[in-house]
């Protein structure tokens, strides 16, 4: 893929009113999701659920791409059409998760580093043949007593940069995802501090590894209070501090930023995204790359029953539409209420 094609792909990922649906859950994570609705974690159930998500009529209005898991990119609809072809036929770009997960970082208790660089060049070439246009690599940064350490942040930033360089070499746009977790009892100010330092470190390493920023999408966390913090920041503070952090740490050359939901409810993730786009003028589009925040209500509506597919798809489309509007600062309570009407 030429530089022009990479630029066009990156721009399309964050096109006005559109974002990315993450359906790249590992086998362990999808089992946890299926456990909540009481169905077995079989390959066929995973295939059926992914078909519900991928073949949802009309979602191309709000979804520019979907991040797939390795199993999913090789699966097909019940009628035998490859999932990647289904997406491409309706103008949605197939993406792929390529990291091998976060593993304990030697010498750094309580911290992890993401693995998966071995053989990545060859895997990316094969994914490109399957129609993949962009990829994702997630790094996990944990807040706790004495952590994160500089060593952990630098190790993850280096891996992200190596991954991004290999993606661009293969003609695939890298989605770079450093996630500061929201699971602890830290304040929103501590999240701001860690997120800013992490993003600065990641972009410094991207430049060192000669990654073209103009062909790179950032996926990151919002600046929020830890889930166990007794004082939870509200929507306006989250929006203000997230925007401030991004302005300080993210180069204007990046074509777009998408947020992970990070454990936020579907409603909160939509409201917080809308608050940023409604109130601030920024050098890059701010959009979404949600997994659970988009899927949770649809998964519950489906319940593993074929007769519920259409209902679940309607619920999913509503959540996607709400976030598409939030990406333009045009979401409202009235829009949210339309599904229930």
9 three-state secondary structure: helix
Please state the φ and ψ torsions of residue 172, each to the nearest 5 degrees.
Answer: -120, 135
> Pairing mode, if any, of strands 217-220 and 93-97?
unpaired
pTM: 0.96
Please state the domain extents for the chain. 3-337
pLDDT confidence of residue 300:
97
Mean pLDDT of 141-160: 98
Q: 203 falls in which pLDDT band (50, 70, 90)? A: very high
Looking at the DSSP bridge assignments, the partners of residue 102 are 114
| Token pair recorded at residue 107 | 């010498």
Q: Average the pLDDT over 54-71 and give the result.
A: 97
Element (H, E) at 169: helix 150-169
- Confirm or reject CATH 3.20.20.70 for domain 3-337, answering yes or no: yes
| Amino acid 341: pLDDT | 63
CB 176 within 8 A of CB 160: yes
- Does residue 2 register a pLDDT over 90? no
Angle at 179 between CA 173 and CA 185, to 5 degrees: 170
Confidence (pLDDT) at 338 = 84
Give the residue numbers annotated as catalytic, written as ranges: 177, 219
pLDDT in tens, 67-90: 999 999 999 999 999 999 999 999
pLDDT at 181: 98
pLDDT confidence bin for 1, thresholds 50/70/90: low
Radius of gyration over every alpha carbon of the chain, rounded to an integer in angstroms: 19
Q: What is the pLDDT of residue 316?
A: 97
Could you tell me how many residues make up the chain?
Answer: 341
pLDDT at 340 over 70: no
Whether 23 and 320 have beta carbons less than 8 Å apart is answered as no
**Residue range 84-123, pLDDT digits in tens:** 999 999 999 999 999 999 999 999 999 999 999 999 999 9
């Amino acid at each position: 893929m030429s530089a022009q094609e990479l630029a066009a792909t990156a721009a399309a990922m964050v096109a006005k009113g559109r974002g990315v649906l993450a359906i790249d859950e590992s086998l362990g994570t999808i089992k946890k999701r299926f456990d909540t609705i009481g169905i077995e974690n079989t390959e066929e159930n995973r295939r059926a659920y992914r078909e519900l998500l991928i073949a949802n009529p009309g979602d191309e209005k709000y979804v520019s791409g979907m991040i797939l898991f390795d199993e999913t990119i090789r699966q097909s609809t019940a009628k035998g059409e490859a999932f990647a072809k289904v997406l491409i036929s309706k103008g949605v770009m197939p993406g792929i998760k390529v990291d091998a997960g976060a593993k304990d970082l030697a010498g750094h208790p309580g911290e992890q580093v993401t693995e998966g660089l071995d053989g990545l060049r060859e895997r990316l070439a094969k994914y490109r043949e399957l129609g993949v246009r962009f990829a994702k690599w997630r790094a996990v940064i944990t807040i706790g007593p004495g952590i994160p350490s500089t060593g952990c942040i630098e190790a993850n930033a280096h891996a992200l940069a190596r991954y991004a360089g290999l993606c661009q070499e293969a003609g695939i746009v890298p989605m770079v995802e450093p996630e500061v977790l929201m699971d602890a009892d830290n304040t929103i100010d501590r999240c701001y501090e860690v997120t800013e330092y992490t993003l600065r470190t990641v972009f410094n390493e991207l430049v060192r590894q000669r990654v073209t920023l103009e062909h790179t999408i950032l996926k990151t966390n919002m600046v929020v209070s830890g889930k166990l913090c007794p004082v939870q920041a509200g929507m306006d503070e989250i929006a203000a501090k997230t925007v401030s952090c991004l302005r300080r740490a993210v180069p204007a050359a990046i074509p777009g930023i998408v947020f992970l939901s990070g454990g936020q409810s579907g409603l909160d993730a939509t409201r917080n995204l809308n608050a940023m786009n409604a109130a601030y003028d920024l050098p890059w589009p701010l959009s979404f790359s949600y997994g659970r925040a988009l899927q949770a209500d649809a998964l519950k509506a489906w319940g593993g029953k074929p007769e519920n597919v259409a209902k679940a798809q309607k619920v999913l489309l509503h959540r996607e539409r709400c976030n598409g509007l939030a990406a333009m600062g045009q979401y409202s309570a009235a829009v949210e209420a339309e599904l229930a009407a």
